[in-house]
Chains A and B, each alone.
Chain A
Amino acid sequence: MLRVDNLSKSFGGLTVTNDVSLSLQAGERLALIGPNGAGKTTLVNQISGFLGADAGTIHLQGEDVTRWPAHRRVRQGLVRTFQISKLAFTLSAVDQVALAIHQRDGSINNMWRRKTSYGPVLDEARSILDALQLGRLAHTTPSEMAYGDQRLVEVALALALKPKVLLLDEPMAGVPKSEAQLILDALERLPADLAVVIIEHDMDLVFRFAQRILVLANGAMLAAGTPDDIRRNEVVRAVYLGKAGQL
């Protein structure tokens, strides 16, 4: 599904991504963890096309997308969410999800049909929101929502694009404990055939959710393997948690 080979990137003298490789099958859940500044978001930026890599290749379903601009990768099914929500603040949730659907099926270029006449699109938008327990907020704008719900809207938008590979950048970031469960539920209910990469700091979530874990530090891969492997890995414990850490 997704194959990243020897990806590298430097800013001047600072190497932010150092020969990173990973591969992902359909339906796999991969967690990307590492201390702050390890280069996790930078890696996701490069995979999704928001940042250009210096070296290495990225293949999506066999196609080389390394030089492709971000919007083209999205159309091929490579979708990401952002650490800080990027939402249209005065458009209602259903409008935004519908917009994503319009973009996906090409109807966004229609300049004459009223957007309210697109029954199937609106139905799909509402069902995506319902699946994420956002049904009651369909006509609310993000500026009127709790932050946890905003993060969920972002996930809804990602799903509306019918991704094949989904990159989630810290979906729990900034979400108060009281709202965290909503997001956890949403993550559990992601489509089974979707390949997911999730960046997270919340270890409970990571160990519950991931089938494989990749540990990044200083831009390079420190360790990779199943959650058990990582749990027992001495180097990871030292780097990530300090000697007194308990996993």
Chain B
Amino acid sequence: MQTTSALPRMASVPQRFSWHVYVIGLGLILALYWFFPGNTLIMTRIAIMAIFVMSLDLLTGYAGLATLGHAALYGAGAYAAGLCAKFLTGDPLIGLAAAAGAGALLALISGAFLVRYQGLAFLMLTIAVVEIMHNLASKMQHITGGDDGLSGFAIDPLFGRFEFDIFGVTGYWYSAIALFLCYVVLRRIMSSPFGLCCEGIRENRDRMSANGTRIYPQLLKLYVLSGAFAGIAGGLSAQITQVVGLDSMGFTLSAEALVMLVLGGAGNLVGAILGTALFTGIHHFAATANPFHWLFVIGGLLMLVVFLPRGFVQAALKRLARRVADLAGRSA
């Protein structure tokens, strides 16, 4: 599964991530709100999906496990957050913890079985899991609301002060900060020896076994971690939109997430965010009254991505950044 492209390897983003970048990140969050106050809804959507796609990146980008069933974990988190608000407490942070827990738990149960497999068998089994979960959610109408979705729960103001209203301001800050924190945490975890171990598993399982590594426990740990963050994404979605639909547990969502990840570049978390933004942006502009036209666009995009060199988007952005830096340097 290896192609050596002429472009620099994805994960060559420097390990010592200086604090400058984090400040820029926070600044970006602020700037986006400042310049596009009317677009909080779509930016919130991007932030939530980016967390979901980052969690997918852990499995697919770092460990090499291509899965089409990740939405099951997202949906588990979404329903957990909704049910928590409905029956327990409207506090958003507790609901988010419940969502993370639900995602992690489902990941533990399904992962214990799934992670024993590889390649196509693994892919098929993940599809089976998400289809079964989708089925269960659909049948358990009294809990999940079935086709109509889970609704009728209210979320308390964040920290007791910031209300979730239709203007979406709180929602934006909530999800954007969550994205930031999730990125920081995940980046840190995957820069650890454990992260390196997962990459080793992706590259050559036999080599890892020959080193004495037991692959199964490591992958299971990763799966649970990934599930927790997928659950967080689902929970955020439930809390901000205050409704949970069946599509949050569908095969389509899994497929879309995979597309977003590959679009932006897998293996270093940044690509997940870029890909989500790009995909959502294109969707926003290409979506017309006729949903079939969107299919042409996304279909074409997918086919194109495969023939472009790996990490195309990030490499292109790097070249752009260098050119801008050159210009700035020259005019100074």
Using a CB–CB distance below 8 Å, which chain A residues touch chain B? 70-72, 74-75, 79-80, 82, 86-91, 95-96, 98-100, 102-104, 107-116, 118, 141, 143-144, 157, 161
Closest residue of chain B to A109, judged by CB? B194
B299 within 8 A of A: no
Closest residue of chain A to B17, judged by CB? A114
Which residues from chain B contact A102 at a C-beta distance below 8 Å?
A: 193, 196-197
Which stretch in B85-93, B132-140, B199-207, B274-282 binds the other chain? B199-207
The one of B192, B199, B203, B212 that contacts A111, using a Cβ cutoff of 8 Å: B192
Q: Contacts A114-B15, A114-B191, A141-B9 given; indicate if A80 touches B210 (C-beta within 8 A).
A: yes
CB distance from B33 to the nearest CB of A (A): 31
Nearest 7 interchain pairs by C-beta: A88-B203, A74-B212, A102-B193, A111-B194, A86-B207, A71-B212, A103-B211
- A143 with B192: CB separation less than 8 A: no
Which residues from chain A contact B200 at a C-beta distance below 8 Å?
A: 88, 91, 96, 99
In the bound complex, what is the Cα–Cα distance between A103 and B215 (angstroms)? Answer: 12
- A88 with B204: CB separation less than 8 A: yes
Which residues from chain B contact A72 at a C-beta distance below 8 Å?
A: 212
Which residues from chain B contact A98 at a C-beta distance below 8 Å?
A: 193, 196
The one of B194, B199, B212, B221 that contacts A91, using a Cβ cutoff of 8 Å: B199
In the bound complex, what is the Cα–Cα distance between A98 and B209 (angstroms)? Answer: 15
In the bound complex, what is the Cα–Cα distance between A114 and B185 (angstroms)? Answer: 12
In the bound complex, what is the Cα–Cα distance between A70 and B215 (angstroms)? Answer: 12
Closest residue of chain B to A113, judged by CB? B192
Main secondary structure of the interface of B (DSSP, over half): helix
Main secondary structure of the interface of A (DSSP, over half): helix
What are 16 pairs between A and B in contact, CB < 8 Å? A70-B210, A71-B209, A71-B211, A71-B212, A71-B213, A74-B211, A82-B210, A89-B4, A95-B196, A99-B211, A108-B193, A108-B194, A112-B189, A115-B15, A157-B210, A157-B211
Q: Contacts A86-B206, A98-B196, A111-B194 given; indicate if A104 touches B2 (C-beta within 8 A).
A: no
CB distance from B221 to the nearest CB of A (A): 8
Q: Kindly list 16 other residue pairs between chains A and B, CB separation below 8 angstroms, not including A75-B212, A108-B196.
A: A74-B210, A80-B210, A82-B210, A87-B204, A87-B207, A90-B203, A91-B199, A102-B193, A104-B212, A107-B193, A109-B194, A110-B192, A112-B189, A114-B188, A143-B2, A157-B207
In the bound complex, what is the Cα–Cα distance between A114 and B193 (angstroms)? Answer: 7
- A112 with B192: CB separation less than 8 A: yes
Closest residue of chain B to A160, judged by CB? B211
In the bound complex, what is the Cα–Cα distance between A116 and B188 (angstroms)? Answer: 11
Which residues from chain B contact A112 at a C-beta distance below 8 Å?
A: 188-189, 192
- A108 with B199: CB separation less than 8 A: no
